Amino acid sequence: MSTGVVIPCYNEEDSIEILYKKIKKFNENNKLDINFFILDNGSTDNTSQKINHLNSNEKIKFIKVTENKGYGYGIKYGLNQISNSDMIGWFHGDLQFEIDNLVKIHREIEDEVKKGNKLIFFKGIRTGRNFVSTFFSLFMGVFATIFLRHSFYEINAQPTIFSSNLISKLDLSPNDFSFDTYVYFLAKKNNYKFIRSKVSFPKRELGESKWDFGFISKIKFSIKNILYILRLSRH
């Protein structure tokens, strides 16, 4: 079972080299058929320059989006480059996802494949988060469940990994942070087998988060996602 994982990075000059070393160490310690694709999503800092000094190989490759057109745009661009893998997905390049979790995740997905399941969707369940982040996540899950008429929980959790046949349905996906909601919804709508598993979500140590915003930013993001869910519910 081959797996391709996109790791979107935006202005991650402080962490990109550490990320690369973590992936390299993971590959040395584990002989799994997982290929990593570090995606520079139109960074405006020195992320691109630092990537130029890193070596690609069979297991680690680099993808560049010249202009940032949104979180969802970058991930979809990367996924389209790796759609020949059996399983594809992503996690953020900010070091908040412990890469070693992929050993357990790969095993859980492989067990379902051996059972004959061809429509698989894995999404982590984040642990170690603060109260505010947990509250907003729970609220958004309940709201999506009511209006999209499918069960939603931890919509933006990492990583997201799924059978590559889902990529053909992403033509109308949004380019912003609502991308997670849309992909989750498509998997539910098309009866994919969901696998959920707890993954640690440590506090960010380097750089500034483009995802785990402050309180006001979380409210703004929630409003945008609520409006998107309402639009999606009408289709």
In the chain, the domains with their CATH numbers are 3-233 (3.90.550.10)
Tell me if 232 sits within 8 A of 149, measured CB to CB: no
With 0.95 as the threshold, say if the pTM is over it: no
Longest dimension (CA), the chain: 48
Q: What is the predicted pLDDT for the residue at 176?
A: 95
Strands 60-65 and 34-41, how do they pair? parallel
Query: Which residue pairs from 69-73 have beta carbons closer than 8 angstroms and sit at least 24 positions apart in sequence?
Result: 69/42, 69/175, 70/174, 70/175, 70/176, 70/179, 71/8, 71/10, 71/41, 71/175, 71/176, 71/177, 71/179, 71/210, 72/173, 72/174, 72/175, 72/176, 72/177, 72/178, 72/179, 72/182, 73/175
Percent of the chain at pLDDT > 90 equals 84
Tell me if 199 sits within 8 A of 94, measured CB to CB: no
| Average pLDDT over every residue of 59-82 | 96
Q: What is the predicted pLDDT for the residue at 213?
A: 57
Is pLDDT at 214 greater than 80 in this prediction?
Answer: no
Q: What is the predicted pLDDT for the residue at 210?
A: 54
Q: What is the pLDDT of residues 20-41, one digit of tens each?
A: 999 999 999 999 999 999 999 9
- Which residue intervals of the chain are DSSP H helices? 16-29, 47-52, 71-81, 101-114, 131-148, 179-189, 215-233
Q: What is the pLDDT of residues 96-154, one digit of tens each?
A: 899 999 999 999 999 999 999 999 999 999 887 888 888 999 999 999 999 999 999 99
**pLDDT bucket at 203, cuts 50 / 70 / 90:** low
| Residue listed under structure tokens 């069960």 | 151
